[in-house]
Structures are given as structure tokens and as C-alpha cells.
A and B are shown apart, each in its own frame.
Chain A
Amino acid sequence: MTGPLSVITGPRARGRRRAGLGACAIVVATVTALAGCSNSGTSSVANGPAVSGGTVTMALPAGAPFNYIFPFESPQYVTGPNVTDLQMLMYRPLYWWDGSPYQLNLAKSLAAKPVFEDNNTTVVLTLKKNWKFSDGEQLSPANIALFLGLLLSERTNFWFYLPGAFPDTLASVSYDNSQDSVTLHLKTSVNPTWFMENQLTMITPFPTAWDLSGPGKKSDCESENPSVQAKDCPAVYKYLTAQAADTASYATNPLWQVVDGPFHLTQFQSGGWSVTLEPNPHYSGSPKPRIAKLVMDVATSDASEYSLLQSGSLTIGYVPFNSAPVKPAGSTAPPSNPVPGYDLQPVTAGWSYNDMFWNYNNPQLGPLLHQLYFRQAMQSLVDQQSDIETALRGYGYADYGPNPPLPANMYETAYEKSAPYSFSLQRARQYLTSNGWKIPASGRATCIRPGTSAGDCGSGIATGEQMPALTLNYATGSEAWTLEVSNLQSAASRVGIDITPVATTSGNLAAYFAPCTASQSECKWQMIYLGTPETDFLTFYPETGIVFREGAVFNVSNYLNPTIQSLFSQVYTQPGNTALDTIDNYLTKTAALLWMPVPDTSLYEVNPKLKGFTPSPILVLEPENWYFVKL
């Protein structure tokens, strides 16, 4: 399952944030280049003795200030800063995942590895005995009960929830306080890996200090009795969301000061454009924070953030890719450090894949899209290496299927890695000409062999019919996206396919994202490119049901394939990755969507005095690992 956050907070969202202000970043790059200030790297490698204390000032991606503190938000408030950079530092999820290498981190998790029993219909979660909240409360099943009570009664208000998934699959819950365990009894057998990586990741134990229906009015949403929960939890949700609506009180409201994570909030300024966190002295986990203060500033634009970084005002900042030197292929860093005096971090690949959507139900494009040869031809027209070198300026990597190619993982199949449709104009031409199309020297191809036999144009395509002129709507705001669609347009024109790219604001593109039928006016769109990739965020098992299952909320391409549908149910219910691998290979082989290169995440610069910072492919922050050294 790919949660909504993957679109809202992942690189796709960062791309959108960059979109409107991208021009400024381009100007920074131009001015920098003109002035010849791209100094050679001066990053420090010195290591001195570690010291406690110190303030880290970190710039977060521009344009998206913090605006929600309660870790149970609706999709309206799901952003990277809110979830990973604020909430998860204070309110720890039950299970913590490391991104590099990608694995469950039991030391930072609040429970032992879940135990699956009774043919994977029962899941036992055993909590750590020595974990405490800052108000002294010992972590117990009641904290899980409070979360589950709110989830059961307010599931539609929780961003992570998808109809038919957890907690819809929950038959009952039993709590054993003597063993500090919670047992989930499920309606059906589940695939333990999928359930672990994509369902249990949503659970965050809530302190019972939050079990209030009004100021000082204790409630019983933490009850082990489902009927009591059903009665009490709505009022608790109402009270907590009302408290969360008062952003000015975030740093002073006693509710939000009850934390079990390594940090607590001390300042929330300028309407969320700057927040300050300080170590939670009662943090039960390890390592304990060593820095004294973490100030996270959200800049108004990439250009502004980059100026601050260059002027030395930040401890950790990022270089917008447009302002960074072109990175040679195969290298993990640009040839020179764009910000002298800082340590340049290696480029990080996100847990992402990238695609261009096309509409199987569009009246003009649909008949062609249903022909495998056409999709194969189109995929052969995507010159990913050229896109990476020219459009992404070296900051990206090739992707030929629905799995994240990087960081290296067990999910990407050998077939995906084999790049089955690498760029070849000749092969693209061959796919078309060997299936009944005549390609003129210029202009659109024409079908000369209609019919449904092998070598014919296929169903719904008449003799003499010209290839329809295609419109490709792509998101505005990045020169890279413009170049990528131009490259595709240019390659396609050489094999008789006429593509017209149309720059469209991401707000307008979002309007297209609704499943449609051929007769509906909403189905007029043909191809859409968002530019930013799909990032699996808190849903690490890279199944793509939300995009390819029939009726799924993000199946905007109107993809329908009965074989795939039955395989998806196996992904959720059968142990192992066999069904997932079969789906991935099939989607790759049939070019179900147009796979595109994945841009890297951020290019970080860190003050050489700060150690322990590692950019995370899964976009989490771990400032408890950071410390200053004397240089």
C-alpha cells in the first residue's frame, strides 16, 4: 500500500513546493555561474573530540511550514515537516525503520518484533518494559488502546487509513497488561511482511494524558472494552483536534509536552516557519540526544534557503539541484562543493519510483494503449540516461518498473534491473511497423493493416487511421520536467507519434486525478507527468495496489487487468514475495505506465563541526544521533 503521504510529502510534494519558486533557484544558479563562484570542494574531514550541547539550525524544504502537532491528522495536514520532522521526534511510532540500509530498527522501536500466529491471523505486539513518557507514565497496552480506539472510531479522519485495510481487517483486540502485550485478531490471514511494513507502521502509542474529552475531563478511550471506546473516543478526538487547531499554543500546551521521543517542543514561531526542539530529559531510548537545541527553519523559497546556507547561517542546509554543479554519472557527489566551508553529503536516493500516467480510458489514446506494442514503443522512446544527464543534471537514476531501484533492496526483481526497454528509436520504430503502422518521413504514423491478428494494428483502429495527436500535461515549475517531456516529444516525433507537451500547474493537474470512463468529460486527458516520483513513506513494502488495483483511489490511469487483481489479493494474504515479484515483472514487461528516471532527494551541506547526520532515503530525521565536535 502506498499511502497518500507518498504524494503529499515525498519528493513529489517537494517538487511542487519548488515549483512556483523554481525560477529564483535558476537565477541563483545563473548568477553563481556568471560570477564564477563555483569553488572547488573544501569540505572538512577533521574529527575532534565530541562535545555535548550546541544549537543545530537546520533548513527544511522551502515553502511548507509546520502546522499540525497531533500525530493523528487528516490528509489536509499531512506534510513531511509535520510527520517526520516534528511529530516523530516527539511521539515515537511503535516501529522505527532505518532507511540506509533499509531495515527495522528494534533498538529505536517501542515493541519487540511482532509475532504472527494462527496461520497469520493473529499478531502479538509485545511492548518494551522500560519505555516511559515524559510525565512518568510507563508504556503499556493502554497507550496502544488509546490509539486504536481513536483509529476505530475516527478512521476516516486519519490520513493513513485506506478503506478495506487496517483497521477494517481487525476482528478484535486483546490486551495482556501482565505481559505488556497487545494481540490483534484479524478477520483473514495476512502476509506478515506486508502487514508489518505497511500496516503496523501507522501505530503510534498515545500517552493516556491525552485521554481527555475537555480540559481536565478524563475519558476512557483507552478502555479495553470496544463499546466504551466507541462511546468515549469521538469526544476525545474532538478535544484533541480542537487543541491541535491552536497552533499558537503548541509550545506551551501541557498536552503536547507529554512525549516519549527524544525531543520536545520549546518554541513554535512565525506560524510554524520556525520551530525549536530541545532534548527530552526522560527519553527512554538510545542514543540520548547530545545537542542542546534543534532549530528547524522553513525558508520561503529554495533561493532564500540557499542564500542562508551560503552566508553561513545554517548548520544543515540543502543545495537546490539547479544550483549544484552537474554530477558525473556513477558518482555520489558533484565534482565540487558548491558551498565552501561545509561538508557535502553524498546524494541520496529516495525510496521511490517514477512514472508518467496515461489514460487507458481516453477515447483517442485508449485503443492504442491497449496494444502492448504501442506501450513497448513508448517505453523505448524514453531515454532515461539522457534525461538524467541533461534534465536532472546527474541527480537521478534509471527506473524501469514499479519498485524503488535504490537504495539496493530485495524487492526489485532481476527483470526490472535488466532494463527491458532501454532507449532505442530503432526498436520503437520496429514495434510500430511490425504491427501494421506506416511511419512517414515526417508527420504521424498511419495504420495500414487494421485487424486483431498478430502484426495488425489492433482492436479499435481502422485502416488509414492516423496515430492521434497526443497531449501531455506536465507540471510547471521545473526546467528538468520541461526537458524530460521535450526529450520524449522529440524522440516520439521521429517514429510518427505526435506529442504536444502542455505545462499545467500542479493544482490543475490534481483535478484530473479521478478514475473516469471514456464517455465522461473528465476522461479527456491523455498523458500526465508530475515530475516528482512516488515515494513509499511509512509504507515500505512496495506494493502498488493503490495505483493498479481496480477501483483504487489512485488508479487514475484506469488500469484494469484481472490477472493482476487476483495477484494483489495474494500480496496481502500470502506470505512471501512471490506474488509481488510476479506483479512487478508483469507491470514492467507490459509497460503498464511509462517508467521515468527518479530524481535524487536532497543534496545536503553540513557544518563540519556537526557529526552523525545522515540523509535518510525514507525521509526521517534522527537528530538524537547528532553531536558537535571540537575542531
Chain B
Amino acid sequence: MTIFLIRRCLHGLVVLLIVTAFVFSLLHALPGGPARAILGPKANPTEIAAFERANNLNKPLLEQYFLWLGRALHGNLGQSYNQNQSVASLIAQRLPKTLMLTVLALAVSLIVGLPVGMLQAVRRNGATDRVLSVTALAAYSAPIFLTGILGIWLFAVRWRVLPAQAPQGTSALQILADPKALVLPVLCLGLGSMAAFSRYMRSSTSENLVQDYVRLARAKGAGQARILYRHVARNALGPVATQVGLFLPILFAGTVITEAVFNYPGMGLLFWTAAGARDYPTELGVVLVVGVATVVGSLLADIAYGVLDPRIRQFGRES
């Protein structure tokens, strides 16, 4: 397992290098440099030259990348072009907020999605299954901006039972201190993944319910609840666990819209505004953080899969 983890970490590093190099070249391939985007169309050539000098934009592309990489390895992600803050401090301000939102959305979608999926599998092709399938399909298809705005309109504007914006505190404690304000953004962000997890769980549980070990358990007199929770759930969770890690970047992408709709300046919105302003250091900083999150998420999924399924651990030992 240790060798497996080391190997996965090394793979992760390579992935991060490739991703950052790719994004770096993609950013610089865009027509029009950041100088005019930041300084405005009325900037004069002297101002543009000074800006490019100050930000190393006058150097060859490869040199710029290695300069950025060298600084990043020392923990320095550079200075935002237009936000008058270091990228590290911007990320430090925003990351906890987005993490909080993402983790809560993930937790809610798992807590709701997994039992719903199991229920559907147990009542496969029945009325409950059909209703829940249609509901899941609708939830999965609904774009976040639509559910967000509808949620605000109903719960904040029409009935005034929930706030229209997410908590405005900066620390995790401040955010959690306003749980009512978290309801709408967390539900809107988690709705799609909740539906997806329920579908995965339904499918995975259905497959397991017809396996020999279930028939054997039944033959041995095990009750339905015991079969489901002691035997089927554990086996069915394996494939779902791998999806959890992969859903982290999807949820992050969702935060871009969620944060815009619920007035919650986090990482998603930071990336969005940086992209619009050609703020390369900030974009690269966010890409790096998201890249690390994806690699770590994928690693955690592998570990979770191993924990949940003894066959994987056994295979690891044998190999």
C-alpha cells in the first residue's frame, strides 16, 4: 500500500506539472496580453512596457514558466495583477470558504443520495423508484444558476424564511455560526451530485442484490436490513467511493456559479474574475490548488476503495 501511495503521489506531481504547463501556455496563447486588460484600453505604451517589465511578461515564455514554477516551489505564487494582494493570501482568504461549501455540499449529497439510491434499488421498478428516478434526473439536469435563483426567489424574497446570501464571515467558525444562510447554497451546489450519487448507488446496489452472496445470506436467514447494511452496502459503496474523489473538481466548478449567485466570494469566483481580467498569477494559483485537490481527491478515493473492499487490499499485497 505504501509503495502504491508513493507511486500515486509521484503520478500526481507529474499531473500537476503537465496541468500547470498546459494552463500556462494556454493563458499566454490568448490574444491580447494582460497589460491592456489590466491597465485599460487607454494605457499608454510606457505604462504597458513598465507593467510587462514588472511582471516578467517581456521574458521568453519558457523562462516565465520556470520563474513561476521556481517561486511556486518556494510557496510564492506571485502577486495578483489587479487585486493588490499576493495570490497566496487571496487563496488563503477564499479557500476555507469554498472548502466549507464544497465539503458540506458533498456531505449532504452523500447523506441523502446514498440511502435514496439504496431505497430505489430495493424497490426497483416500483412507483417509488420511478418517482425518485425522475426527481433525480430533474435535479441532475437543473443548472445551478436556475436552482439558486429559484431558491432565493422562493425562500428569501417570497417567503423570507432564509437569507438571500451565503454567510459573509471569513473563518470556518464564522461561516458555521450562520447555518440558515448555508442552507440554500449548500443544497443548490449539492443537488446535482446528490442525484448522481443516488443513481450510482442504485445501480451498484442493484448489481449486488442479485449476487450469490446475497442469496446465500438470505438462505441463511439473514433479515433484509442486515443484508442491506452489513453486506450489500459495503460492496456497493466501492464504486461510489471512487466517484466521490472525482466529484471534487466538479463541485469546485459548481462553486463558480454558486458563489456568484449567493454573494459568496470564494475560490470559484476568484478564478472567474481572474480569468476575465487576465490575472495570470491568480489563475495559475487557483489551477494549482484545484489540481492538488483533484490529485488528493483521487488518491483518497483509491484509499477509500481499498478500505471498503478487502479484495483491493489483497490484490495490492499480492502485486
List A residues at the B interface (Cβ < 8 Å).
2-4, 6-8, 16, 19-21, 23-24, 27-28, 31-32, 35, 37, 63, 65, 67-68, 74-78, 156, 162-163, 244-245, 247-248, 269-274, 299-301, 303-305, 307-308, 310-313, 505-514, 546, 553-554, 556
Report how far A300 CA is from B156 CA in the complex, Å: 17
Q: A68-B84, A299-B263 are in contact. Are A553 and B43 (CB under 8 A)?
A: yes
Report how far A301 CA is from B264 CA in the complex, Å: 10
**Do residues A307 and B149 form an inter-chain contact, with CB atoms below 8 A?**
yes
**Do residues A556 and B41 form an inter-chain contact, with CB atoms below 8 A?**
yes
**Do residues A4 and B43 form an inter-chain contact, with CB atoms below 8 A?**
yes
Which of chain B's residues have a CB closer than 8 A to the CB of A247? 84-85
**Do residues A271 and B93 form an inter-chain contact, with CB atoms below 8 A?**
yes
**Do residues B38 and A31 form an inter-chain contact, with CB atoms below 8 A?**
no
Report how far A220 CA is from B81 CA in the complex, Å: 31
Q: For residue B40, give the distance in angstroms from its CB to the closest CB of chain A.
A: 4
Which of chain B's residues have a CB closer than 8 A to the CB of A78? 40
Q: A24-B260, A75-B40 are in contact. Are A35 and B276 (CB under 8 A)?
A: no
Which residue of A8, A27, A245, A514 contacts B40 across the interface (Cβ within 8 Å)? A8
**Do residues A65 and B265 form an inter-chain contact, with CB atoms below 8 A?**
yes
**Do residues A308 and B165 form an inter-chain contact, with CB atoms below 8 A?**
yes
- The digit string for B36-56, where 1 denotes a CB below 8 A from any CB of A, is 111111111111001100000
**Do residues A313 and B164 form an inter-chain contact, with CB atoms below 8 A?**
yes
Q: For residue B99, give the distance in angstroms from its CB to the closest CB of chain A.
A: 16
**Do residues B149 and A303 form an inter-chain contact, with CB atoms below 8 A?**
yes
Which of chain A's residues have a CB closer than 8 A to the CB of B51? 76
Q: For residue B305, give the distance in angstroms from its CB to the closest CB of chain A.
A: 37
Which of chain B's residues have a CB closer than 8 A to the CB of A35? 153
**Do residues B276 and A270 form an inter-chain contact, with CB atoms below 8 A?**
no
**Do residues B33 and A511 form an inter-chain contact, with CB atoms below 8 A?**
yes
**Do residues A67 and B41 form an inter-chain contact, with CB atoms below 8 A?**
no
**Do residues A308 and B149 form an inter-chain contact, with CB atoms below 8 A?**
no
Q: A24-B261, A271-B265 are in contact. Are A311 and B163 (CB under 8 A)?
A: yes
Closest to A305 in B: B263
Report how far A128 CA is from B265 CA in the complex, Å: 43
Known: A269-B168, A300-B261, A303-B149. 9 other contacts (CB 8 A): A20-B276, A37-B153, A75-B38, A77-B82, A271-B94, A311-B152, A508-B31, A510-B41, A556-B41
Report how far A247 CA is from B82 CA in the complex, Å: 13
19 example contacts (A-B, Cβ-Cβ < 8 A) are as follows A4-B43, A8-B40, A24-B261, A68-B84, A75-B38, A76-B39, A76-B81, A248-B89, A299-B263, A307-B164, A307-B261, A308-B164, A310-B164, A313-B165, A507-B277, A511-B32, A512-B32, A514-B36, A553-B42
Q: For residue B133, give the distance in angstroms from its CB to the closest CB of chain A.
A: 26
- Chain B residues 42-75 with CB under 8 Å of chain A are 42-47, 50-51
Which residue of A7, A27, A65, A67 contacts B149 across the interface (Cβ within 8 Å)? A27
Closest to B41 in A: A513
Asked whether any CB of chain A lies closer than 8 Å to the CB of B129, the reply is: no
Report how far A180 CA is from B41 CA in the complex, Å: 40
How extensive is the interface on chain B, given as a class? 35 or more
**Do residues B276 and A507 form an inter-chain contact, with CB atoms below 8 A?**
yes
- Chain B residues 167-195 with CB under 8 Å of chain A are 168, 170
Which of B82, B85, B259, B276 neighbours the largest number of chain A CB atoms within 10 Å of its CB? B276
Which residue of B31, B40, B152 contacts A307 across the interface (Cβ within 8 Å)? B152
Asked whether any CB of chain A lies closer than 8 Å to the CB of B90, the reply is: yes
Which of chain B's residues have a CB closer than 8 A to the CB of A301? 260-261, 263
Report how far A258 CA is from B126 CA in the complex, Å: 73
Which of chain A's residues have a CB closer than 8 A to the CB of B157? 37, 307, 310-311
Closest to A547 in B: B42
Report how far A272 CA is from B270 CA in the complex, Å: 13
Report how far A76 CA is from B279 CA in the complex, Å: 11
Asked whether any CB of chain A lies closer than 8 Å to the CB of B128, the reply is: no
Closest to A64 in B: B273
Q: A156-B46, A553-B44 are in contact. Are A308 and B263 (CB under 8 A)?
A: yes
Q: For residue B107, give the distance in angstroms from its CB to the closest CB of chain A.
A: 24
Q: A8-B40, A28-B149 are in contact. Are A271 and B83 (CB under 8 A)?
A: yes
Which residue of A21, A65, A313 contacts B260 across the interface (Cβ within 8 Å)? A21
Closest to A505 in B: B276
Which residue of B42, B50, B81, B273 contacts A554 across the interface (Cβ within 8 Å)? B42
Report how far A27 CA is from B144 CA in the complex, Å: 12
Which residue of B36, B168, B261 contacts A513 across the interface (Cβ within 8 Å)? B36
Which of A307, A310, A512, A546 neighbours the largest number of chain B CB atoms within 10 Å of its CB? A307
**Do residues B276 and A510 form an inter-chain contact, with CB atoms below 8 A?**
no
Which of chain A's residues have a CB closer than 8 A to the CB of B32? 507-512
- The digit string for B73-115, where 1 denotes a CB below 8 A from any CB of A, is 0000000011111000110011000000000000000000000
Which 3 pairs between the two chains have the least Cβ-Cβ distance? A511-B32, A513-B41, A304-B263
Report how far A75 CA is from B163 CA in the complex, Å: 37
Closest to A74 in B: B47
Which of chain B's residues have a CB closer than 8 A to the CB of A553? 42-45
- The digit string for B20-34, where 1 denotes a CB below 8 A from any CB of A, is 000000000011110
**Do residues A271 and B149 form an inter-chain contact, with CB atoms below 8 A?**
no
Closest to B268 in A: A300
Asked whether any CB of chain A lies closer than 8 Å to the CB of B272, the reply is: yes
Which of chain B's residues have a CB closer than 8 A to the CB of A156? 46-47, 50
Q: For residue A503, give the distance in angstroms from its CB to the closest CB of chain B.
A: 14
**Do residues A76 and B259 form an inter-chain contact, with CB atoms below 8 A?**
no
Asked whether any CB of chain A lies closer than 8 Å to the CB of B232, the reply is: no
Which of chain B's residues have a CB closer than 8 A to the CB of A274? 168
Report how far A274 CA is from B170 CA in the complex, Å: 12
